[in-house]
Amino acid sequence: MSEFLEAFADFSSLLYHEARNVRHLVPRCASREKYQKLLILPRKRKEAWAELQPIRQKARHATTTAQVRQMFEQRFELRLRDLVDLFRNPGWHHSTLGGNRWADIASAVSDLSVALDQGNLDNARNLLLKLMEMRHNTGILGDKLRDLDQSLR
C-alpha cells in the first residue's frame, strides 16, 4: 500500500505544480484571492518543483490518502476537486499550459484517491498505469514526472 500512497503523493505534487500556472488565468477569469497560495510558487518549473519537495516527501510518508490530501489542502487551500474545476476553466482554451488535459489528469488522481480509500488495489494499479501514460499539453505525464525529478539532481 505504501507504494500506492507514494505515487498518489507524487501525482498530487505534480497537479499542484501545474496549477501554479493559474497566474495566466488571473487577469482574465480566475480569482487572485482563491489561488493566492498557488501564485506564490515560483514561475520557473524546476524552481517550483524544488519548492514542492518538502511537502511531497512528507506526503510520501503518509499512511492514508486522507493524510496526503490534507497536507496539500492545508498548504494550498484547494482540494483535488478544486483543481479539476480550475483546469476545466474555459480560459485555458488553446493554452499550452493547464487546460482540459490537466482536468482529466486531476480527475484520474482523484479517482486514484477514491480507489485507495476503498482498498481497491486492482483499480488503483490500473489508474497508476493510466496516469503514467496520460498526455498533458506537451508530452506524457510519466516522462514529465521523471524529468522534473531529474532536475533536482
DSSP secondary structure letter of residue 67: H
Query: What mean pLDDT is predicted for residues 82-105?
Result: 85
Query: What mean pLDDT is predicted for residues 10-28?
Result: 89
pLDDT computed for residue 23 by the predictor: 87
Model confidence at 10: pLDDT above 90: yes
pLDDT computed for residue 94 by the predictor: 72
- Domain ranges, residue 100: 2-150
120-145 per-position pLDDT tens digit: 999 999 999 999 999 998 899 999 99
66-87 per-position pLDDT tens digit: 999 999 999 999 999 999 999 9
33-76 per-position pLDDT tens digit: 889 999 999 999 999 999 999 999 999 999 999 999 999 999 99
Model confidence at 95: pLDDT above 70: yes
pLDDT computed for residue 41 by the predictor: 96
Query: What mean pLDDT is predicted for residues 108-115?
Result: 97
The grid coordinates listed for 148 are 522534473
Phi-psi region of 99 (alpha: psi -120 to 50; beta: other; left: phi over 0): left
pLDDT computed for residue 28 by the predictor: 65
Query: pLDDT-based confidence at 100, cuts 50/70/90?
Result: confident
Q: What are the residues whose beta carbons fall under 8 Å from the beta carbon of 57, sequence distance 6 or more?
A: none
- 3-class SS letters over 73-120: HHHHCCCHHHHHHHHCCHHHCCCCCCCHHHHHHHHHHHHHHHHHHCCC
How many domains in the chain?
1
pLDDT computed for residue 27 by the predictor: 66
Model confidence at 29: pLDDT above 80: no
The grid coordinates listed for 114 are 477514491
Alpha carbons 40 and 35: distance in angstroms, whole number: 9
